[in-house]
Amino acid sequence: MLVRVPKTIKLYINGAFPRTESGRSFGVNASDGALYANLCDATRKDLRACVDAARAAFEGWAHRSAYNRGQILYRMAEMASSRTLEIEECLREVMGLSETAARAEALAAVDAFVYFAGFTDKYQQLIGSVNPVSGPHHNFTTAEPVGVVGFLPDAGMSYSGFVAHLAAILSSGNSVIAVMPGKLGPMLAPLAEVLATSDLPNGVVNLLTESKNELFKQLATHMEIQSLCVGDPALFAEARKLGIENMKRVAAPRKEPNQLAAILDFVEYKTVWHPIGV
Amino acid sequence: MAVKAQARIVKLPKSELLVPAKSKHHLAPTFDFQYAPAPEAVDFVKIEARQQLFIDGKFVAPKSGKYFPSINPAKAEQIAEIAEANAADVDLAVTAARRAYDKTWSKLSGKERGKYLFRIARIMQERSRELAVVETLDGGKPIKESRDVDIPLAAAHFFYYAGWADKLDYAFPGRSVSSIGVAGQVIPWNFPLMMAAWKIAPALATGNTVVLKPAETTSLTALILADICRQAELPDGVVNIITGAGATGAALVGHNGLDKIAFTGSTDVGKRIAMAAASTGKKVTLELGGKSAHIVFEDAALDQAVEGVINGIFFNQGHVCCAGSRLLLEESIAPVFVQKLKRRMKQLRVGDPLDKNTDIGAINSAEQLGRIRELVAAGKKEGGDFFETSGSLPSKGYYHRPCFFDGVTSSSLVSRVEIFGPVLAISTFRTPEEAIQKANDTTYGLAAGVWSEKGSKIHKTAAGLKAGVVWANTYNKFDPASPFGGYFESGWGREGGRHGLLPYLEVQGP
């Protein structure tokens, strides 16, 4: 008989795996009711560390070439692919998925990384434009990442759905702070390892777990966060209100995240004019 | 670095020095132009003394029974009385818009919707002289601006979106689009007719109906537009124009019958609207304030850049949300540039907006003039090298001389607060990185300008600026095909171009 030793899953902040500064943790049960793992109960100080990291990483990531971001997202697909066994096991044990369903989920996540890896250098062409203004000016509109995005999925979001939204937000050059609720929490461990081994610059993605919903208000009001993706419909209006001080762009996750719209929810449009003449 | 930059300081050629080096602030021109008055004729324009609401295709008296004066700011004289819509009037207008949406407008084909918009555009062109004169009488902007900028752009906006009405399936390939419903739209006083066009044209092209409230100091051209809608035989209730001040606007955006709110105005009011709409299903787009940076590199064509800076901050008396109100000069050229700027400012003609030679007209209202004076006074207390042009101003009306504060920091009041007047804040930088950092050091993100003759530098700087519109080697250019709107606290959404359709459409499908 195998003795199961519950893991302690740490946070993922600025490319490192720290414990929460509070020293608090909470247990998450496997689908059979036994303790599966202990998760860090992240605090506002942990969140602040994430914002510092995400802010510092943003410009560098946004100004990587689109090709390079695509390479790194594709590397994530490779890393996720080589960890499918571990990911499947976690999905079976924590979420109680069947072997087939767990396999499908793990592969769907790999596919999502691949999908958005191929989108980093194309979405601009689909939504950008050269505008035929009536004066002698060259005028063009491009899409740019919005900045630091706070990602708060609802507890019911699937693992592959989480990965797809994460990849969509990253693909345009945003940095992300995600809070992984409920049964998604334990998935932090394999996912963070995928991210940490994919040449993603430190701080571009930061992953937190918590037990008491303490981080929502801080995320929604933080002046250094430009946009929110809020999954829980009950929190959506509240997020819009709390985010008004710095006019946050608040979006809901997409039912089908593998689409252009999932990128466009987190971009800004810039229009540049230049005279034509000699 | 500092020493190097100092060493590169460019000297102004002797021929351009118009004043003895001793005199610091007073630039006496070596010649004195006298312009003969060139007033635009107004006798062909008839403005009804009492202006009504436009609801369901008819001009009607307000249920409130109240009227308020509209003042010509150039003379501080009343030119008309405007109906003040209360909650009951707002309700009538929204109900009319809903009925028009359900019964006619949403059932009309895109092709037919487009024809109505083309008609409106044509009639606006035909009535352009009347519209320009009324715009200037009501708002105080120079006639050359209303004639050459506001009115043509407003008509062009209708023309542009008219053509989209039957081509929406092409706008976002692979996705299906539909109209939203009834839009409540609130617009500011700085570009009254143009803002009305920016709001109404895309909303109608995409199949929505609207209730629009112009600003209380500039209702007249919106009411002429209502008359134009009637002339164009636009179905009743598709466009409703209600007039009034803040209370009317609040009643409109708070009305439960709206599906969509579009607002252009101050960031404070925009935030309040967004807050009120947050827990409703209403979609919201906002075009809010700005404190846009205007960067001039040492390798810019300086004389052209001076023109651009002048246009950037003094166009429309600086009542422009995207005004280039923060000038960032590369240290090596700062002294020369400020000299040239002063000389050019001295040539600006401030006065009667109806005079075809006037560059800077009247401040839109006594209230706004008071606000500008307050901020200038506070700026003077904080420090900085203050300069304003001399010369006489008309004895009646609301006027403010073009002015600037030189040598101010990013944290100073005049660098941070949107003044919405002819007031420029000037500071310097040493490297392109510092220029971008200073330009982005604001809670706004509406527009920015950059001047350099080096293409690669222009592109690098434009890419680094956090602003929805970047004017490179030009400033304050607008076009219906060009998306306009801001980052951060400058708002949500874009107006103009294909992107300007998005705020008025439901987009479905992958």
The CATH number of B290-472 is 3.40.309.10
Q: Is the pLDDT of residue B327 over 90?
A: yes
Q: What is the pLDDT of residue B444?
A: 97
DSSP state of A22: T
Q: Give me B192's structure tokens.
A: 């009254």
- Residue B261 forms contact with A (CB below 8 Å): no
DSSP state of B150: I
Q: What is the pLDDT of residue B437?
A: 98
Q: Lowest mean pLDDT of B32-41, B128-137, B326-335, B374-383, name the range.
A: B32-41
Per-residue pLDDT band at B1 (split at 50, 70, 90) = very low
Of the candidates B487, B489, B499, the beta carbon closest to that of A141 is on B499
Per-residue pLDDT band at B500 (split at 50, 70, 90) = very high
Choice among B287, B331, B418, B495 that is catalytic: B287
Q: What is the pLDDT of residue B35?
A: 84
Q: Is the pLDDT of residue A188 over 60?
A: yes
Please, what CATH class does the domain formed by B50-288+488-508 belong to? alpha beta
User: How many residues in chain A?
Assistant: 278
Q: How many CA atoms lie within 13 A of B450 on its CB side?
A: 28
Per-residue pLDDT band at B34 (split at 50, 70, 90) = confident
Which among B285, B287, B239 has a CA at the least distance from the CA of B262? B285
Tell me how close the Cα of A278 comes to any Cα of chain B, in angstroms. 12
- Residue B76 forms contact with A (CB below 8 Å): no
Of the candidates A137, A256, A275, the beta carbon closest to that of B510 is on A256
Q: Is A254 in a helix, a strand, or coil? A: coil
Q: Is the pLDDT of residue A1 over 80?
A: no
The CATH number of A11-20+42-275 is 3.40.605.10
DSSP state of A18: P
Which residue in the block uniquely carries the two structure tokens 């200037």? Answer: B136
- Residue A48 forms contact with B (CB below 8 Å): no
Interface contact A275-B470, CB threshold 8 A: no
Q: Give me B395's structure tokens.
A: 């004895």
Residue type, position B336, single letter: V
> What percentage of chain B has pLDDT greater than the value 90?
91
Chain A residues 6-45 with CB within 8 Å of chain B:
none
Instruction: Kindly list the domain boundaries of chain B, sorted by start residue.
Output: 50-288+488-508, 290-472
- Residue B288 forms contact with A (CB below 8 Å): yes
Interface contact A129-B497, CB threshold 8 A: yes
Q: Give me B381's structure tokens.
A: 């207390």
Instruction: Kindly list the domain boundaries of chain A, sorted by start residue.
Output: 11-20+42-275
Interface test with chain B among A125, A245, A274, A278, by most B beta carbons within 10 Å: A274
B321 has catalytic annotation: yes
User: B101-140, pLDDT tens digit by residue?
Assistant: 999 999 999 999 999 999 999 999 999 999 999 999 999 9
Average pLDDT over residues A202-228: 97
Q: What was the ipTM of the complex prediction?
A: 0.95
- Residue A249 forms contact with B (CB below 8 Å): yes
Interface contact B274-A247, CB threshold 8 A: yes
**Phi-psi domain of B65 (left: phi exceeds 0; alpha: psi -120 through 50; beta: other):** left
Measured distance CA(B265)–CA(B301) in Å, rounded: 34
Taking one residue from A and the other from B, the number of pairs with CB-CB distance under 8 angstroms is 106
C-alpha dihedral sign at B324, B329, B334, B340 = negative
**Phi-psi domain of B234 (left: phi exceeds 0; alpha: psi -120 through 50; beta: other):** beta
Q: What is the pLDDT of residue B28?
A: 57
Mean pLDDT estimate for chain A: 96
Choice among B229, B321, B322, B403 that is catalytic: B321
User: B189-234, pLDDT tens digit by residue?
Assistant: 999 999 999 999 999 999 999 999 999 999 999 999 999 999 999 9
Q: What is the pLDDT of residue B32?
A: 64
- Residue B121 forms contact with A (CB below 8 Å): no
Of the candidates A131, A240, A260, the beta carbon closest to that of B482 is on A131
Residue type, position B41, single letter: A
Per-residue pLDDT band at B5 (split at 50, 70, 90) = very low
- Residue B458 forms contact with A (CB below 8 Å): yes
Q: Which residues contact A123 (CB under 8 A, 6 or more apart)?
A: A143, A171, A172, A260, A263, A264, A267
Measured distance CA(B58)–CA(B47) in Å, rounded: 17
